[in-house]
Amino acid sequence: MRNIPTLEELHELPQIQQPTYEDPAKAAQVVAQLRSLPPLVFVAESDSLRERIAQAAVGKSFILMGGDCAETFDGVTADNIMAKLRVLLSMSVVMTYAAQVPVVKIGRIAGQYAKPRSKNTETRDGVTLPAYRGDAVNGFEFTPESRRHDPERLIDSYNASAATLNLVRAFVSGGFADLRQIHAWNSSFVKDSHVEKKYEQMALEIDHAVRFMRACGVEDSTMSKVDFYSAHEALLLDYEHALTRIDSRTGRPYVTSGHMVWIGERNRQPNGAQVELLRHVYNPLGVKLGPTATVQDALEIADRLDPDRVPGRISFITRMGAAQVRDKLPAIIEGVEASGRKVAWICDPMHGNTIETANGFKTRRYEDVVEELNGFFDVHKQLGTWPGGVHLEQTGKDVTECIGGAFQLNEDDLVNRYETACDPRLNRNQSLELAFMVATRLNEFRNLDEENVPERNM
Write the DSSP string, 115-181: ---S-SEEEETTEEEEPP--TTT--SSSSHHHHS--THHHHHHHHHHHHHHHHHHHHHHTTTT-HHH
Helix (H) or strand (E) run with residue 201 in it: helix 197-215
Report how far residue 433's alpha carbon sits from residue 193's, in angstroms, rounded to the nearest whole number: 9
Task: Tell me whether residue 303 is exposed, middle or buried, using C-beta atoms within 10 angstroms of its C-beta: 0 to 12, 13 to 18, 19 or more.
Answer: middle
CA distance 454 to 458: 12
CB 348 within 8 A of CB 288: yes
Residue ranges of the annotated binding site for phosphoenolpyruvate are 108, 265-266, 288, 319
DSSP string, 242-305: HTEEE-TTT--EEE-S-SEEEE-GGG--TTSHHHHHHTTS-S-EEEEE-TT--HHHHHHHHHHH
DSSP letter assigned to residue 313: S
Nearest CA-CA partner of 139 in 113, 160, 106: 113
For the annotated binding site, the residues are: 69, 108, 265-266, 288, 319, 351, 393, 423
Q: How far apart are CA 382 and CA 209, in angstroms?
A: 31
Q: Enumerate the known binding-site residues for Mn(2+).
A: 69, 351, 393, 423
**Interatomic CA distance for residues 253 and 246, integer angstroms:** 4
d(CA 259, CA 205): 34
Please tell me the number of Cα atoms within 13 Å of 64 on its side-chain side: 29
CB contact at 8 A, 275 and 301: yes
Helix (H) or strand (E) holding 317: strand 314-318
Taking the C-alpha atoms of residue 234 and residue 214, their distance in angstroms, rounded to an integer, is 43
